[in-house]
Amino acid sequence: MYRSILIQPEDFSLDRALTDLKAQSGLAGGLCFFTGAVRNSNLDETVGGLYLEHYPGMTERQLDLIVDEAARRWQLHGVIVVHRIGNLAPGDNIVLVAVSASHRGEAFDACEMIMDYLKTNATFWKKESIPDGHRWIESRSSDQVKATAWDA
Amino acid sequence: MGQSDIEIMLEAPTTVGALKSMIKLPNGASLSEASLTQTIMAAVDQEMVDDSAMVSVTSEVAFFPPVTGG
């Protein structure tokens, strides 16, 4: 299975990911893409931007383990994960998870599982700019519930 | 946790939990005291662990708040 895991300040291209996944396997009949983007408001406050931090080395390794788990559960042809770090503005892309499989079912499920595990297991932290200054974003228990559901 | 890195000399292997009581935050409280009121996650040699995990004398240990990527 083809895999590409990138952590980078630069933006990514969905077209490029689509082209790569198709080029890697002629069996890729179902391709699913998830993109997370920066919102302009959170908890009733205007958000001017986000700062994203990670744990170099560990974060890459965890993403690799998450993709391993997806590949163990479903017959996949390719997985691309790109997560941005550094300063981002409202509307900017944060994360891309792109999965190719023979049919849509595996692609949808694997894409969702990778995102759910990424939210709870990958060492990234977000700080947002609000009118009064900055605040670190707190984790949401609903994310933990979603990730745990895959363990059942 | 307000500090990027510190070096602690261990004479013998210990647990993550024991290490937490050795580390003091800038406000004087230990990490184990701080973990009563907030969730503090831990990794040993870049692998997520709980308080019972062993720390060797050469381990890289990280403490951090719950993750919020994606």
Residue-wise over A82-105: b if at least 16 C-beta within 10 A, else e?
A: bbbbeebebeebbbbbbbbbbeee
Rounded Cα–Cα distance for residues A127 and A150 (Å):
28
Q: Does residue B7 belong to any structural domain of this protein? A: no
Q: Which of residues 13-52 of B touch A (CB under 8 A)?
A: 39, 43, 46-48
* B4-58 tens-digit pLDDT: 788 888 889 999 999 999 999 888 999 999 999 999 999 999 999 999 999 999 9
Within-domain flag for B34: yes
Is A57–B46 a contact, with Cβ atoms under 8 angstroms apart?
Answer: yes
- A100: domain CATH number is 3.90.1170.40
Domain range for B36: 14-61
Structural domain total, chain A: 1
Residue A111 belongs to domain spanning = 2-149
The ipTM of this complex is 0.87
Q: What are the CA-CA distances from residue B14 to residues A98, B5, B43, B59 (Å)? A: 41, 19, 14, 10
Task: Identify whether B1 is part of a domain.
Answer: no
Q: What residue of A is the nearest CA neighbor of B48?
A: A121
* Number of domain units in chain B: 1
pLDDT bin (cut points 50, 70, 90) of residue A112 is very high
pLDDT for B2: 65
